[in-house]
Each structure stands twice: as C-alpha cells, then as structure tokens.
C-alpha cells in the first residue's frame, strides 16, 4: 500500500457495483420522461459522471459546471463562486446534478437555487459520497446517493488534494500529514 494511504474506504469493485445500481435506478425513474441533462460538477465528479452516464439507459446529454467554495484545498470558505457555467440552457429539461461529495451542503444548496431560476422541468441530485455528520444544510435532498461516509478527508476516484490522487480507482482516507499544514491539528 502507498505510504499516503491511511485506509481504503471504498474499493473499486464496490464503487463500480454502486454506480451500476445508481444508473439502473435513474434509468427506471426517468423512463418515458424524456432526455436527462446530466450536469457534472468539475473537477471532482468527472470520473464518477463518466461511469454513471454509461450506466444510464435513457436518452441524456451532458454539460459541466465548475464551482468553488474552497480557499485552500481542504476547508470551505462558504462563499460559492461559479468558475464555469453551463454551455446550454436547461429550461424545461430534466436536470440531474452529478456531484462527487456533499459535506456541509452549502455549495449544493446554492447551486440548486441558481439552477432552479433557469426553469428546469425537474432538478435532482446524484452524489457519490455523502458526509451527513458535516451537514450544515439539514433539509438538503440527495435523490441518488452512493455512499454515506464518515467525516474524514478522502481522495481517489476523481477526488483530490492539491490536484493529486484523482487517478486512483478507489476511495481512500489520506493520511493527515499529506494534507495538513505544519502546526495544524
């Protein structure tokens, strides 16, 4: 095992089984409803989204947004900025936000509010990881959730620290000495 891995939290095999299951549920829910516009939240969701859309068996198109609420690489500021907006309109479209991880819920709440003003036919969320312990927005709905995880710093399968570790096909807990600044607890 790599020296920076504290623990493999979710194996590649378990992730792929869950992604297949999520794709099946989404396909069943959107059967006969028309095309889905899947919106991937960059950069963390790109690997999850690629695998997810290959498992959705109803018509869909994709678009991407880039949003930031992080001052550094591991603590949110609470201020949400849209760095890249959608390329296509979503009016009267069934929109599925594809997110890598939801922790406080502040960013996702803001994103849902922004997209709701664009009059989609429906607006749902699919998140791979959910940190319920860290949730600030208590009434936030995640329509399709892969895994509930503890409040630990995780990377892999698209999630990063300082743009590293995204390429690992599993999700793991990064040892604190690899993401904490000197003097941090």
* Residues with catalytic function: 103
Whole-angstrom distance, CA of residue 78 vs CA of residue 135: 13
For strands 5-10 and 36-42, give the pairing: unpaired
Is the Cβ–Cβ distance between 27 and 60 less than 8 Å? no
φ and ψ at 145, to 5 degrees? -120, 130
């Amino acid at each position: 095992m790599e020296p920076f891995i504290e623990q493999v939290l979710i194996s590649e095999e378990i992730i792929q089984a869950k992604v297949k299951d999520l794709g099946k549920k989404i396909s069943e829910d959107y059967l006969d409803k028309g095309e889905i516009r899947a919106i991937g939240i960059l950069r963390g969701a790109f690997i999850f989204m690629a695998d997810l859309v290959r498992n959705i068996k109803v018509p869909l198109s994709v678009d991407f947004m880039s949003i930031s609420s992080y001052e550094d690489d591991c603590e949110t500021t609470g201020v949400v900025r849209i760095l890249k907006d959608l390329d296509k309109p979503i009016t009267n479209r069934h929109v599925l936000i594809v997110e890598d991880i939801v922790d406080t819920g502040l960013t996702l709440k803001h994103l849902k509010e922004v997209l709701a003003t664009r009059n989609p036919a429906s607006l749902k969320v699919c998140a791979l990881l959910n940190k319920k312990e860290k949730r600030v927005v208590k009434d936030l709905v995640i329509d399709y959730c892969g895994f509930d995880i503890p409040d630990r710093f995780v990377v892999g399968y698209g999630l990063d620290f300082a743009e590293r570790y995204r390429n690992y096909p599993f999700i793991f807990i990064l040892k604190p000495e690899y993401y904490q600044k000197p003097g941090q607890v």
